Amino acid sequence: MPTKPLANGLRRIGAGTIRAVSRMGFAARFFVAVLYHSPAALRRIPLTLREVYFAGVLSLVVIIVSGVFVGMVLGLQGYDTLNLYGAGDSLGLFVGLSLVRELGPVVAGLLFASRAGSAITAEIGLMKTTEQLSAMEMMAVDPLARIVAPRFWGGVISMPLLAALFSVMGVFGAYVVGVRLIGVDSGTFWGNMQAGIEFRPDVTNSIIKSVVFGVAVSLIAVFEGYDAKPTAEGVSAATTRTVVEGSLAILALDFILTVFMFRGVGDV
């Protein structure tokens, strides 16, 4: 029958949709459960500090190095393009705006998802695979409070700090290229930047973005770990999903946030 492949295809789409929606519902319930267990977890500061160490401190190097390089490239390309219009002096503004409004939170978020998010997923997934989570439950210790919530908050705390650091390193990289190498006047560089970038809304929105990304990536990471199939392939698939879903979530959220935050800033 010729309609058979069509019907099968539709059925597959339907099944996939149902699965996706039910997974999202499950993730939302999971989020509520994590929040519910957060006060207890946060009261034990060392648990969360330890996760700030793993999510934040261990991401420092990659964030600093990437930040400097992205800034240097921005400096080079930005100056080239701006100079076409005789606006090479606006380099500071161009670099500062790109980093603060977009690249800082977004690139730091992408790096965070692949560096820290994947590690969180793999760790929780392996704990599940080796029955450590079960063992904890049998000891009347809720893994959501003891394992998941501290990792979630460790990520949420680390992310804005990493994003700010990324932006600063980027500005520094652009400064090195623009001022030291190309010879833009240092005063012009900073002056243009300061004249064009406002604490509110530019810097505050940057921080809001990075917090939102931190929540999204950390939630995806702990959820995928907790939900992983308890096998080696299950954990590896979950780790991949964290990176993919985390990155897509960041890009999508960035678009939505940008629409809300900066619409109307430029116009009256």
Partner 1 sequence: MTNAIELDDVSFGYDRRRPVLKGITMSIPRGQVVAIMGGSGCGKTTILRLIGGQLRQQHGQVKVDGASVRDLGREELYALRRRIGMLFQFGALFTDMTVFENIAFPMREHTDLSDALIRDLVLMKLHAVGLRGAAQLKPSELSGGMARRVALARAVALDPMLVLYDEPFAGLDPISLGVVGQLIRRLNDALGITSVIVTHDVYESLKIVDYLYFVSEGRIIAQGTPDEVRNSADPFVRQFVDGEADGPVPFHYPARSYAEELAAGAN
Partner 2 sequence: MNRSAIDLWVGIFVTIGIGAIVFLALKVGNLASLDSKPSYHLEASFTNIGGLKLRAPVRAAGVIVGRVESVKLDTTTYEARVTMRIDNDYKFSKDTIAAVLTSGLLGEVYIGLEIGGDPQMLADNGRITKTQSALVLEKLISQFLFDKVSSGPGQ
| Residues in contact with partner 1 by the rule CB under 8 A | 123, 126-127, 130-132, 134-142, 146
Question: Is 56 an interacting residue with respect to partner 2 (CB under 8 A)?
Answer: yes
96 versus 178: smaller Cβ distance to partner 2: 96
Question: Is 62 an interacting residue with respect to partner 2 (CB under 8 A)?
Answer: no
Write out the two tokens for 104.
């800082």
Interface region with partner 2, contact rule CB under 8 A, candidates 28-36, 46-54, 74-82, 247-255: 46-54
Helical spans, DSSP H, in the chain = 3-43, 45-55, 60-84, 91-97, 104-112, 118-129, 132-138, 143, 149-175, 186-196, 204-227, 232-262
140 versus 268: smaller Cβ distance to partner 1: 140
Residues in contact with partner 2, shown as a per-residue x/- string from 4 to 43 under the rule CB under 8 A? ----------------------------------------
Q: Residue 24 and residue 126: Cα distance in Å, rounded?
A: 22
Q: Which amino acid is residue 198, in one-letter code?
A: E
Q: Which amino acid is residue 92, in one-letter code?
A: G
Span between the terminal Cα atoms of the chain, in Å: 61
DSSP readout, 189-228? Answer: HHHHHHHH--IIIIIHHHHHHHHHHHHHHHHHHHHHHHHS
Minimum CB separation of residue 157 from partner 2 in Å reads 8
Binding site for partner 2 (CB under 8 A): 46, 49-50, 52-53, 56-57, 60, 85-87, 96, 100, 158, 160-162, 164-165, 167-168, 171, 190, 193-195, 197-200, 202-203, 206-207, 265-268
